[in-house]
Amino acid sequence: MTSEPPVPAAIHRHTLWVPLTLQPDFHAPSHIALSAKGVHVSFEDGQRRLCAKSGLWNANLGYGNSSIAAAISSEYENASYLPLFRSAHRKAIEASDALLSLSTHRFERVFFSTSGGAANDAVMKLARHYFLLAGQSERKLIVGLSGSYHGLTFGSHALSGDELGQSLYGVDRRNVRHIRFDDGGAELALLMRREGHRVAAVVVEPVLGSGAEVVPEDFIALLLRYRDDYGFLVVADEVATGFGRVDSWFVSDEWPSAPDFIVASKGLTNGTCACAALLIGQRIVSCFDSNTSIFVHGETQAGTPATCAAILATIAEMKRLDHRRLTAQVSSGLEDLMARLEGVAGIAGASGRGGMRGIKLETVGGVPLSPHAVLAVVRHIHRAGAIVHPGPARIQLLPALVYTEENFHELHAAIMAGLDEAQRAGVFT
CA dihedral 50, 55, 57, 63 (to 10 degrees): -80
Is 70 exceeded by the pLDDT of residue 5? no
* 355, 327 Cβ separation under 8 angstroms: yes
What is the residue-averaged pLDDT of the chain? 95
Nearest by Cα to 52 from 387, 415, 371: 387
DSSP state of 381: H
Bridge-based pairing state of the strands 48-51 and 40-43: antiparallel
Is 80 exceeded by the pLDDT of residue 413?
yes
- Dihedral angle of Cα 48, 329, 250, 112, to the nearest 10 degrees: 30
| Average pLDDT score over residue span 190-203 | 98
Strand intervals (E) in 132-274 = 141-145, 176-179, 199-204, 233-237, 261-264
- Fold match flag (23-61+322-424 vs 66-320): no
Residue 13 has pLDDT above 90, yes or no: no
Domain ranges across the chain = 23-61+322-424, 66-320
pLDDT at position 357: 98
Phi/psi for 9 (5° steps) reads -65, 135
How confident is the model at residue 7, as a pLDDT? Answer: 45
Please give the full DSSP string across 72-139, using - where no structure is assigned.
HHHHHHH-S----TT---HHHHHHHHHHHTTSSS---EEEEESSHHHHHHHHHHHHHHHHHHTT-TT-
Q: Is the pLDDT of residue 23 over 90?
A: no
- pLDDT value for 22: 86
| Residue range 25-76, pLDDT digits in tens | 776 789 999 999 999 999 999 999 999 999 999 999 999 999 999 999 999 9
Does the domain formed by 23-61+322-424 have CATH 3.40.50.720?
A: no
Report pLDDT for 8.
46
Task: Taking the CA atoms of 134, 139, 140 and 145 in sequence, report the sign of the dihedral they define.
Answer: negative
Contact 185, 145 (CB under 8 A): no
| pLDDT one-digit tens code per residue, 355-369 | 999 999 999 999 999
Residues in Cβ contact with 389 at an 8 Å cutoff, skipping those fewer than 6 apart: 52, 53, 56, 57, 378, 395, 396, 397, 398
Residue 168 CA, distance from chain mean position: 24
What one-letter code names the amino acid at 424?
Answer: R
Res. 112: pLDDT tops 90? yes
Average pLDDT of 283-292? Answer: 97
pLDDT score for 14? 76
Contact 385, 417 (CB under 8 A): yes
Percent of the chain residues past pLDDT 90, beyond the cut? 92
Highest CATH level, class, for 66-320: alpha beta
pLDDT in tens, 377-403: 999 999 999 999 999 999 999 999 999
Average pLDDT over residues 204-228: 97
Predicted confidence at residue 138, as pLDDT, reads: 97
